């Protein structure tokens, strides 16, 4: 090969060497033959290799000597067709062909390769092309790296987009001061659609007894259902996700052979369903579900699984935070209500303090209270008005395992029928006219404690089934609400009515009667335990005298006998009120009892000669104590708790003469 031949074609080599190199052809050829990165070969007019460097020989998969004298096709096989055509073109035209790309697999290589090729002519002095040189650079690995780089760039961009969406989702959730997740769920679904490309989404909450409940849906991309019974969510898949706490997917084949609700998805154009559990600090609270129109679920679920779990985690944290805030708010309200309630209870007139008495009847009831208290059973306290039914209920609570909890009472006869349900179960804001705020009912206040329902026989029939449900299931809903509230309450009831007769008359539910009649206690009336009256009188005198700053140490025997012999239709409550008035009227150390009040029966008429004689004797005794003085602060009228003119009228009516109290 002549040097001038090389120089004539040197202008075609500019892509491969510095311009100065072409002035020294031997140096140029030597550099190509010795290169470890660039392949070089020369072919004759019969397309046989006349020269080749080691680099290209290794690329072709044969030794250098195996190339010499053999054709291109014999070396690289079927991949030679295009190269042969180009080499012939250079031989024919004498023009180089630069930077063309070839992709093929030679017989000696296991996989396809990629090369950048340059062909240039070698000419004689007469200009005829007698040989063609080839400079080859393999770019297979470069191409692979470019593909990997493109794939990595695409993945990074996708991950960046996912992170941006997660930040946007976080901002959306945090921006809701009073989070209503079902209400903003369609917005959440729209936000996630660029990544998930779903056509349907739903949010399900786990209910303790009914299972998963779909509380929100995004159907904006679905055609209208032709049948209202067609379902989109596959409840079985959701239940499986809740039970196994793993992502569950349903593909086209599974849907087609699944239950009716799954096949209903096909009718809406959905072929892939995915359910992701929402697992928080208190366990799995529900699922977030997506459906697409793809023909298989693998790509939808596997490629997006980390993103789906991150979305589920964000939503779960918000649910946990909202529920924790709600629990704290409810506890704060409950404590506030309990504080107010307990302050009112302390001031209550019926808070008698200790149970006073030594009669067998009272001891029997107290013994029964000690028996039933630790058992947490429902107790029914029977007795007339004023016998101390609430005191027995409080004693049962103090002796029970719930003594550290609240004792909440409700007098069912003292509250109008229309408000009783609200007092018992509470109500939500707007539940009825005038319900401007949420109200916590007595049942919630009594959670972990005891609820005492006084006059339970006065509960209207329409409320009784709700109370029965509380006794059976320990759960209820507030008035105007749909959230089930669970409580742990012990119920103690009391009544002065004959509930058995009310049941027979249809005024009280038989099933409720049996539920509250588990352990009945019957309190004796005060007239049935007269031996306790002196103890009660002294107890009340001491309590009221201490409160009023008086020193009453003497109770006349005649007065005590009168009090013991009176029937006390109002029982202990009537006796307490009567003694309080007596202490108010007493100015010295002797209890001044207005016995004249006891002479009047319940209808205001005199009760007979016996009471009339008692009243006459009492007035005479007081007149003797005041030396016949009627008027004034220390006069008989003041001691008897009546006006002077009233006393004079009574003296005239009873025939009391002056000599009877002056002698």
Q: Measure Cα distances from 502 to 221, 496, 497, 506, 508 in Å.
A: 60, 12, 8, 6, 5
Phi, psi (rounded to 5 degrees) for 581: -65, -40
> Is 451 a residue whose pLDDT tops 90?
yes
Among candidate residues 102, 90, 178, 183, the one with its CA nearest the CA of residue 140: 102
Q: Lowest mean pLDDT: which of 33-37, 257-261, 548-552?
A: 257-261
Q: Measure Cα distances from 231 to 132, 260, 263 in Å.
A: 73, 8, 9
> Which long-range CB contacts under 8 A does 125-129 form with residues at least 24 apart?
125/2, 125/4, 125/5, 127/94, 129/90, 129/91, 129/92, 129/94
Fold of 529-662: Helicase, Ruva Protein; domain 3 (1.10.8)
Comparing 3-138 with 155-323, is the CATH topology the same?
yes
- Per-residue confidence (pLDDT) for residue 262, from 0 to 100: 58
> Is 489 a residue whose pLDDT tops 90?
yes
Confidence of residue 612 (pLDDT cuts 50, 70, 90): low
Tens digit of each residue's pLDDT (9 = 90 or more) over 554-565: 888 888 888 998
Domain 3-138 has CATH 3.40.50.880: no
Taking residue 153's Cβ as centre, other Cβ atoms within 10 Å add up to 10
Mean pLDDT of the chain: 79
Query: What's the rounded mean pLDDT across residues 85-113?
Result: 83
Taking residue 458's Cβ as centre, other Cβ atoms within 10 Å add up to 20
> Is 649 a residue whose pLDDT tops 90?
no
Confidence of residue 189 (pLDDT cuts 50, 70, 90): confident
So what CATH class is 348-524? alpha beta
Non-local (6+) Cβ contacts of 225 within 8 A are 268
378 within 8 A of 518, measured Cβ to Cβ: yes
Q: CA 248: distance to chain centroid?
A: 23
Q: For 613-647, give one letter per residue: b (16+ CB within 10 A) or e.
A: ebbbbbbbebbebbeeebeeeebbbbbbbbeeeeb
DSSP 314: H
**192 or 42, higher pLDDT:** 42
Residue corresponding to tokens 């409810």: 330
For the chain, the domains span: 3-138, 155-323, 348-524, 529-662
Helix, strand and coil content of the chain, in percent to the nearest 5, comes to 50, 20, 30
Confidence of residue 449 (pLDDT cuts 50, 70, 90): very high
What DSSP element (H or E) covers 115?
A: strand 113-123
- Per-residue confidence (pLDDT) for residue 293, from 0 to 100: 78
CA dist 470 and 477 (Å) reads 10
Among candidate residues 325, 337, 327, the one with its CA nearest the CA of residue 443: 337
> Is 119 a residue whose pLDDT tops 60?
yes
Rounded (5°) CA angle 107-113-114: 135
Percent residues over pLDDT 70 in the chain: 81
Among candidate residues 247, 585, 33, the one with its CA nearest the CA of residue 25: 33
Please state which architecture CATH assigns to domain 155-323.
2-Layer Sandwich (3.30)
Length of the chain (residues) = 663
Confidence of residue 656 (pLDDT cuts 50, 70, 90): confident
Two structure tokens written together for 367 = 């013994």
Taking residue 48's Cβ as centre, other Cβ atoms within 10 Å add up to 16
Out of 151-165, 322-336, 400-414, 615-629, give the one with best mean pLDDT: 400-414
Pairing between strand 450-454 and 407-411?
Answer: parallel
């Amino acid at each position: 090969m002549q040097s001038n031949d090389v120089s004539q074609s040197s202008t075609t080599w500019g892509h491969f060497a510095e311009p100065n190199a072409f002035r020294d052809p031997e140096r140029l050829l030597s550099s190509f033959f010795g290169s470890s990165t660039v392949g070089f070969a020369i072919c004759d007019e019969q397309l046989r290799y006349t020269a080749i460097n080691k680099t290209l020989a290794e690329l072709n998969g044969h030794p250098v000597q195996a190339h010499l004298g053999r054709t291109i096709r014999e070396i690289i096989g079927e991949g030679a067709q295009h190269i042969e055509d180009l080499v012939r073109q250079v031989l024919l035209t004498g023009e180089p062909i630069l930077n063309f790309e070839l992709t093929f697999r030679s017989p000696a290589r296991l996989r396809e390769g990629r090369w950048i090729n340059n062909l240039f002519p070698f000419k004689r002095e007469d200009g005829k092309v007698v040989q063609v040189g080839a400079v080859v650079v393999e770019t297979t690995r470069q191409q692979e790296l470019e593909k990997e780089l493109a794939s990595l760039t695409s993945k990074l961009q996708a991950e960046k987009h996912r992170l941006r969406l997660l930040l946007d989702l976080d901002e959306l959730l945090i921006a809701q001061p009073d989070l209503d997740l079902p209400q903003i769920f369609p917005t959440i679904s729209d936000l996630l659609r660029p990544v998930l490309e779903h056509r349907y989404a739903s949010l399900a909450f786990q209910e303790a007894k009914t299972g998963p409940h779909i509380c929100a849906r995004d159907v904006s991309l679905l055609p209208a259902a032709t049948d209202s019974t067609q379902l989109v969510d596959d409840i079985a898949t959701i239940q499986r996700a809740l039970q196994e706490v793993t992502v569950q997917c349903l593909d086209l084949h599974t849907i087609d052979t699944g239950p009716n609700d799954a096949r209903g998805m096909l009718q809406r154009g959905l072929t892939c369903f995915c359910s992701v559990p929402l697992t928080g600090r208190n366990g799995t609270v529900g699922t977030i579900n997506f459906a697409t129109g793809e023909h298989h679920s693998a790509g939808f679920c596997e490629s997006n699984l980390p993103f789906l779990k991150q979305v589920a985690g964000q939503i779960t944290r918000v649910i946990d935070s909202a529920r924790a805030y709600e629990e704290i708010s409810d506890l704060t309200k409950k404590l506030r209500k309990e504080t107010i309630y307990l302050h009112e209870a302390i001031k209550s007139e019926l808070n008698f303090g200790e149970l006073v008495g030594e009669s067998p009847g009272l001891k029997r009831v107290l013994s029964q209270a000690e028996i039933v208290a630790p058992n947490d059973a429902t107790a029914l306290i029977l007795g007339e008005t004023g016998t101390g039914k609430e005191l027995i209920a409080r004693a049962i609570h103090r002796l029970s395992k719930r003594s550290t909890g609240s004792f909440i009472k409700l007098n069912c006869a003292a509250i109008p029928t229309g408000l009783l349900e609200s007092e018992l179960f509470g109500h939500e804001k707007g539940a009825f006219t005038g319900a401007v705020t949420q109200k916590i009912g007595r049942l919630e206040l009594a959670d972990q404690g005891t609820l005492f329902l006084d006059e339970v026989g006065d509960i209207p029939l329409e409320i009784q089934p709700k109370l029965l449900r509380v006794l059976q299931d320990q759960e209820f809903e507030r008035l105007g609400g749909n959230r089930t509230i669970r409580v742990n309450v012990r119920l103690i009831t009391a009544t002065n009515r004959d509930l058995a007769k009310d049941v027979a008359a249809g005024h009280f539910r038989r099933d409720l009667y049996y539920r509250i009649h588990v352990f009945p206690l019957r309190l004796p009336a005060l007239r049935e335990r007269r031996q306790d009256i002196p103890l009660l009188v002294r107890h009340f005198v001491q309590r009221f005298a201490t409160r009023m700053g008086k020193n009453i140490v003497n109770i006349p025997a005649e007065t005590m006998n009168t009090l013991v012999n009176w029937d006390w239709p109002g029982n202990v409550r009537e006796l307490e009120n009567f003694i309080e008035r007596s202490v108010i009227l007493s100015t010295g150390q002797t209890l001044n009892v207005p016995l004249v009040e006891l002479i009047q029966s319940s209808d205001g008429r005199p009760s007979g000669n016996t009471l009339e004689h008692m009243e006459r004797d009492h007035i005479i005794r007081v007149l003797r104590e005041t030396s016949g003085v009627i008027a004034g602060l220390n006069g008989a009228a003041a001691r008897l708790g009546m006006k002077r003119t009233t006393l004079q009228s009574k003296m005239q009516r009873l025939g009391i003469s002056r000599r009877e109290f002056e002698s």
